[in-house]
Amino acid sequence: MSTEIHSPLSGIIPPLVTPLLGNDTLDVASLENLIEHLIAGGVHGLFILGTTGEEQSLSYRLRKEMIAETCRINAGRLPVLVCITDTSLVESAALAAYAADHGASAVVSAAPYYFAPAQPELVEFYEDLLPHLPLPLFLYNMPSHVKVNFAPSTIRRIAENSKVIGFKDSSANLPYFQSVKYIMRDRPDFSMLMGPEEVTGESVLMGGNGGINGGANMFPELYVAMYNAAHAGNVAEVRRLQQLIMQISASIYSVGSYGSSYLKGLKCACSLLGVIKDDFVAAPFHKFNEPERRKIREALDALPIKDGKIIL
């Protein structure tokens, strides 16, 4: 039971955390809880197995379980986007087939991340991959993790294939995002989605289509409200909500001094909020210990939360 995407895909499509009980154990009950929480919060789609979803840390078996369970629980209510980012074209294609079979709406692919292909090699890679994909494709720019940046002209080239319907940018480089939007300006159906929630508001004010914002796992209403305000051009409201989003970013994603603090902090907060049961983080990471967990609790206490929801 797949939900067709109305192009351009717009709104808040949270990158779901993957609720785990161990390195190879999906917590299906928490996944159900999380999805109902998100749908109740008004989000516009579900994005699974992204960086926030720890795709690369999970076994292929668990990735498939996550796809199947998400599609089952969602039951066609929202579009489901499945990350198939992989270093192997064969494995990417296999995940895409699995996603299609279980009712996903689209797949998402960042560049292969062991070797660092040059731009013409990226074009060739997607020319090779696209015939294997039974679903529409979103390109995903994530240079900090995959080491290469999609040049705007590369995106333009790859998107000549009409299967390519959108782009998610997690580079945090907004002049770059504007360049991609400009080079795609004759394709109003092409969805331009922002990764970092700290700048989703402004990108939507400027004509972007929405955000793949991790914080929506905790507080979907907040990010949906931000999207709605920005989409309506309500600058004052965007700036008001931005303060809350920055407070979350500054207090929940920056505990500890490693690059993993975003992921550990987000999962920890989700478990403290009761959205998921355990904040187990798959290897190579471990969840926070008690001192860091206490800081997350304090950060949550400082937010205007009532009955688990943020007061807007």
CB 67 → a second copy: shortest distance, Å? 16
Element holding 194 (H helix, E strand) = strand 191-194
CB 221 → a second copy: shortest distance, Å? 21
Among 246, 304, 308, 311, contact with a second copy (rule: CB under 8 A): 246
Closest C-alpha among 213, 169, 221, 215 to residue 191? 169
Distances (CA, A) of 24 to 34, 54, 60, 155, 271: 19, 12, 10, 35, 19
DSSP collapsed to 3 states, 49-115:
CCCCCCHHHCCHHHHHHHHHHHHHHHCCCCCEEEECCCCCHHHHHHHHHHHHHCCCCEEEEECCCCC
Question: Which 125-144 positions form the footprint of a second copy (CB under 8 A)?
Answer: 125, 128-129
Q: Is 22:280 a contact under the CB 8 Å cutoff?
A: yes
Binding string, residues 26-45; x marks residues near a second copy by CB under 8 A: --------------------
Q: Is 220:22 a contact under the CB 8 Å cutoff?
A: no
Question: Which 247-276 positions form the footprint of a second copy (CB under 8 A)?
Answer: 247, 249-250, 257-260
Beta pairing, strands 11-12 & 210-211:
parallel
Instruction: Give Cα 57 to chain centroid, integer Å.
Output: 16
Tell me whether residue 93 or residue 135 sits nearer to a second copy (CB atom): 93
Closest C-alpha among 104, 291, 288 to residue 84? 104
Question: Which 47-106 positions form the footprint of a second copy (CB under 8 A)?
Answer: 51, 56-60, 62, 87-91, 94
Question: Which 153-192 positions form the footprint of a second copy (CB under 8 A)?
Answer: 172-176, 178-179, 181-183, 185
Among 131, 284, 306, 307, contact with a second copy (rule: CB under 8 A): 284
CB 22 → a second copy: shortest distance, Å? 10
| Interacting span for a second copy (CB under 8 A) from 68-76, 145-153, 214-222, 287-295 | 145-153
CB 184 → a second copy: shortest distance, Å? 11
Tell me whether residue 1 or residue 60 sits nearer to a second copy (CB atom): 60
Which residue matches tokens 């351009």?
8
CB 302 → a second copy: shortest distance, Å? 14
Considering CB under 8 A, how many residues would be counted as binding a second copy?
A: 73
Tell me whether residue 131 or residue 306 sits nearer to a second copy (CB atom): 131
Question: Which 196-235 positions form the footprint of a second copy (CB under 8 A)?
Answer: 196, 198-199, 201-203, 205-207, 233, 235
* Bridge partner residues of 167 (DSSP): 139, 192
CB 189 → a second copy: shortest distance, Å? 18
Distances (CA, A) of 311 to 44, 220, 304: 20, 12, 6
Among 238, 252, 266, 276, contact with a second copy (rule: CB under 8 A): 238
Q: Is 16:58 a contact under the CB 8 Å cutoff?
A: no
Q: Is residue 239 a contact point for a second copy (CB under 8 A)?
A: yes
Tell me whether residue 74 or residue 279 sits nearer to a second copy (CB atom): 279
